[in-house]
Amino acid sequence: MKVTINEGLKLIKEKVKKGGFEIVSLEESLNRICAQDLKAKFNLPRFNNSAMDGYAIKLNDAGKKVKVVDTILAGEDKDITLKESQAIKIMTGAKIPKECEAVVPFEDIEIQDDFIILPKNIKKYANVRMAGEDVKKDEEIINDGEKIDPYKIALLASQGYSYIKVYTKPKVAIFATGKELKMHHESIKEHQIYNSNAPMLYTRVKELGCEANLIETSDDDKESIKNIIKNLLKFDLIITSGGVSVGEADFTKKAFLELGAKIVFDKVDIKPGKPTTFATFDNTYVLNLPGNPLAAAINFEIFGRFIINILRGKKEIYQNYIDAILKEDIKNRPKREVAIPGFFDRKYFIPSKKRGPGMVTPLSKANGYIVLYRDVESLKEGSRVKFIPIKFEFTAKEKKDFFTYC
C-alpha cells in the first residue's frame, strides 16, 4: 500500500505501542523517559531561610543602631525569636528566626563593635526565601512521558527521590543487505562499497536513547536474510536498509513476508525514499529503508524517529519545526512530497547544493531539512519554510552577542 507521509505516520501511531518499564537510580535516569507522575514530598524551600549572608532584622529598626545578639549558620535549628533593637547574624540558607521581617546583606550595613547601623529603606521580607516559593508540597514535578534531563534530576534530588520508574530502552537491530557492501574495517575491491547506512543508523539510534545492535551485513539472498530475521524477533524494532525496491535481487521484503510479517505500508509518496516499508510481527516492528544513503537517512528521521519516540514512552512524539526564511529559490516537480536537506543559520534555511538520494555528503553538512507539500512547484527566496532539525545546537564559530537589550 502506498501512503503519504501523514498517512504513514497515522498508521504507525495506530500500530506501535510503548514499551515496558524498569526502576533505575536517579543518577542513571539521564535521558530516559519517566514512566510515572511524581509529586513534591514537601515544600521547597522546606522553611523560610536567608538568601544572603547578612543580618536578620525587624522593619521598625530600619535606619537605627541595633545590637547583634546571636549567629545562625546553615544547617542549624535554633529556636530564637527576634526582638526589636536586635539583629542576628545569619548565613545563606540558614533558617530565619521567628519574627524576622527581612535580611540585610553584610555590605549594606555599618559595623560598630557589637552593634550595626541599618539602612533606612528596607523592604519587607527582602532577601528571605519563603517556604514553598519554589515548589509546594503535592505539586506535580514530573509527568509520565517526560524526558529526564540534568535539571529534572536536580529537582527530583531536592525531593529525596533516589529511584525512578522509567520506560525501558527500545532494543533495535540494524542490518543492511547487499553483496557489494563491506564494513568500514574490511578491505574492498573496485566493484564493492563500504556500508555507510548501518553505522549511521546504529549511532543515530543510540543517540535517540535506544539499545542498538549492529548485525553483520547480509548477502542479497532470501534464505540468508530469513536466517538473520529469525534471530532478531526478540528486538522491539528491526531497521534494514536496501533490498526493498523492485529489483530482482531485492529480497528483504519477501523474506519478512515469508516469515509472517504483516505489511502496513510498502511505499511512501516521497522523494527521496519511495520504497520505504513498515511492517509488524507480533511484538516486533520493522522499518525497511531504501539502500540509498540520503533516502535512508531522511526516511529514518521521518518514520524511524517517530517509532522510537513512541517505543520510548515519550509524551511529545510528533516532530516540531522552526520557522525559517528561505535563502534562495527552490524549483520542484509537484505531485510528490519532497524532503530537502540544508543548513539553518538561525534565520535562513540554505538548501544543500548536493542532494541526490545516493549521496552521503548532504546530511554530514546539513543540520536538518524541510519537506515540500506535493502541490508546491516553486518557492522564492524570502519565503517562510518549516525547518526540521536533526543535529542542532545553538553554537557558532564566531563569538555572538547573546544579550537582550531594551
Please provide the CATH number assigned to the domain covering 322-389: 2.40.340.10
pLDDT (tens, 9 = 90+) of the chain, 406 residues, equals 899 999 999 999 999 999 999 999 999 999 999 999 999 999 999 999 999 999 999 999 999 999 999 999 999 999 999 999 999 999 999 999 999 999 999 999 999 989 999 999 999 999 999 999 999 999 999 999 999 999 999 999 999 999 999 999 999 999 877 666 666 666 777 777 767 888 999 999 999 999 999 987 656 678 888 888 999 999 999 999 876 555 534 677 888 899 999 999 999 999 999 999 999 998 899 999 998 999 999 999 999 999 999 999 999 999 999 999 999 999 988 788 999 999 999 899 999 999 989 898 999 999 999 999 999 999 999 999 999 999 877 777 778 787 889 8
Domain boundaries, given as residue ranges, for the chain: 2-19+168-311, 23-44+136-167, 49-129, 322-389
Per-residue pLDDT tens for 100-131?
999 999 999 999 989 999 999 999 999 999 99
What's the CATH fold of domain 49-129? Answer: Molybdopterin biosynthesis moeA protein; domain 3 (2.170.190)
Q: What does CATH list as the number for 23-44+136-167? A: 3.90.105.10
205-228: pLDDT as tens digits? 999 999 999 987 656 678 888 888
SS3 sequence of the chain = CEECHHHHHHHHHHHCCCCCEEEEEHHHHCCCEECCCEECCCCECCCCEECCCEEEECHHHCCCEEEEEEEECCCCCCCCECCCCEEEEECCCCECCECCCEEEEHHHCEEECCEEECCCCCCCCCCEECCCCCECCCCEEECCCCECCHHHHHHHHHCCCCEEEEECCCEEEEEEECCCEECCCCCCCCCCEECCHHHHHHHHHHHCCCEEEECCCECCCHHHHHHHHHCCCCCCEEEEECCCCCCCCCCHHHHHHHCCCEEEECEECEECCCCCEEEECCCCEEEEECCCHHHHHHHHHHHHHHHHHHHCCCCCCCCCCEEEEECCCEECCCCCEEEEEEEECCCEEEECCCCCCCCCHHHHHCCEEEEECCCCCEECCCCEEEEEECCCCCCCCCCCCCCCCC
User: pTM of the prediction?
Assistant: 0.90
- The confidence score (pLDDT) of residue 176 equals 72
pLDDT of residue 351: 97
CATH level 2 (architecture), domain 2-19+168-311: 3-Layer(aba) Sandwich (3.40)
